[in-house]
């Protein structure tokens, strides 16, 4: 396992980040904790969750795993705020000072820790000025409840605006962005990647496997497997047509040549792209974790990139993931 600098901070994080969205939901606590243990044993020191994942259960499971292993001090622990946490309370969502302060305390309780290393705003909010959000986050840094500030699925212009406002206010600035990024949606290469490289932001992409499509488990003209993520998301707006399967064909061909799985090839490609710090893997099972970890041994060559660029144009989009706007969650 290699370690990379988290943006302009002095923190070193593993080249893969363990995403906890499945824990406490599709994967119960009894099955989740061994997965977390195995990831830490393999050298992963970066774990990402969110308050909205199973309405707090993911954070509870992560907290139980870290507490049980006495490894909290060695883990760079990330969580998020923004999603709705109460259906009946109009203030139980968004990026207001009220919601951020309340949810940070709630996340700390669920995680069983005194601090969160990286606290991220899960999505933009049009109703809340960015200065209110930044001041609230800055207060949490000064209170010792969080160490660093991040965003998830913000547009490049929104990040630059936040950097300007943070400078004007003398606040702590954002240190990373968490966008969707994979071979079916490469639009962040147009503006977001250059912004991150210019201003020293870490990029920790979510869904490097395009909701599992790039694992090869989906076939042309066939129904999605019952246990797959796309089967659980039936009724969504994403369409995986011939262009997506053409990408998968090349991924599978290169993977066969290298003696690895398609998912390992896809994660390795994501991790090798300019500006990327740590792709987020989101295993549901131990077998998926073991497969994902195998990606660190896969070398991506210039020839591999050229073959993939031919079916997945740089800066282009085949399936819509990067909704960096004020719309609903893209995850």
> Which residues have CB under 8 Å from 166's CB, separation 6+?
134, 138, 172, 173, 174
Instruction: Report CA dihedral (150, 156, 158, 159) to the nearest 10 degrees.
Output: 40
Q: Interhelix angle for 192-199 vs 156-169, to 10°?
A: 30
Place of tokens 């259960």: 57
Which of the residues 53, 148, 181, 218 is marked catalytic? 53
How many Cβ atoms sit within 10 Å of the Cβ of residue 168?
A: 10
Distance CA 110, CA 105 (A): 9
DSSP for 179-217 reads -B-BTTB-GGGTTHHHHHHHHT-EE--B-TTTTTGGGT-
**What is the Cα–Cα distance from 268 to 27, expressed in whole angstroms?**
25
- Residue matched to tokens 């490469």: 186
Decide if 53 is catalytic.
yes
In the 8-state DSSP scheme, what is residue 95?
S
* 217 in Cβ contact with 225 (< 8 Å): yes
Instruction: Tell me which residue of 126, 201, 191, 121 sits closest to 156, measured CA to CA.
Output: 191
According to DSSP H, which parts of the chain are helical? 29-41, 57-69, 97-111, 130-142, 156-169, 192-199, 229-232, 242-258, 262-271, 286-293, 302-311
Q: Is 117 helix (H, G, I), strand (E, B) or coil?
A: strand
CA-based end-to-end distance of the chain: 27
Cα separations in angstroms, 318 against 48, 57, 127, 178: 27, 33, 31, 20
| Catalytic site positions | 53
């Amino acid at each position: 396992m290699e370690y990379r600098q988290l943006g302009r901070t002095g923190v070193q994080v593993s080249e893969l980040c363990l995403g906890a969205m499945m824990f406490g939901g599709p994967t119960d606590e009894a099955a989740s904790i061994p997965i977390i243990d195995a990831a830490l044993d393999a050298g992963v020191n970066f774990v990402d969750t969110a308050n909205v994942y199973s309405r707090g259960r993911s954070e509870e499971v992560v907290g139980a795993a870290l507490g049980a292993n006495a490894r909290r001090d060695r883990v760079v622990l990330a969580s998020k705020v923004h999603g709705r946490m109460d259906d009946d309370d109009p203030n139980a969502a968004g990026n207001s000072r009220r919601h951020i302060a309340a949810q940070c305390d709630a996340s700390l309780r669920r995680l069983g820790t005194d601090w969160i290393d990286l606290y991220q705003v899960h999505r933009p909010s049009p109703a809340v000025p960015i200065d209110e959000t930044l001041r609230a986050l800055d207060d949490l840094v000064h209170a010792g409840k969080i160490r660093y500030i991040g965003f998830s699925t913000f547009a490049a212009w929104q990040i630059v605006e936040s950097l300007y406002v943070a400078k004007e206010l003398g606040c702590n600035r954002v240190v990373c962005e968490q966008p969707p990024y994979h071979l079916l949606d490469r639009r962040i290469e147009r503006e977001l990647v250059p912004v991150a490289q210019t201003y020293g932001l870490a990029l920790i992409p979510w869904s490097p496997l395009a909701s599992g499509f790039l694992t090869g488990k989906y076939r042309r003209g066939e129904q999605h497997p019952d246990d797959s993520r796309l089967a659980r998301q039936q009724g969504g707006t994403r369409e995986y047509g011939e262009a997506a399967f053409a990408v998968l064909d090349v991924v599978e061909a290169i993977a066969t040549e290298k003696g690895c799985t398609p998912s390992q090839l896809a994660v390795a490609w994501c991790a090798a792209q300019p500006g990327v710090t740590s792709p987020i893997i989101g295993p549901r099972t131990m077998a998926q974790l073991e497969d994902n970890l195998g990606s660190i041994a896969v070398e991506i060559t210039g020839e591999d990139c050229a073959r993939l660029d031919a079916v997945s144009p740089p800066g282009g989009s085949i399936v819509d993931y990067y909704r960096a706007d004020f719309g609903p969650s893209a995850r």
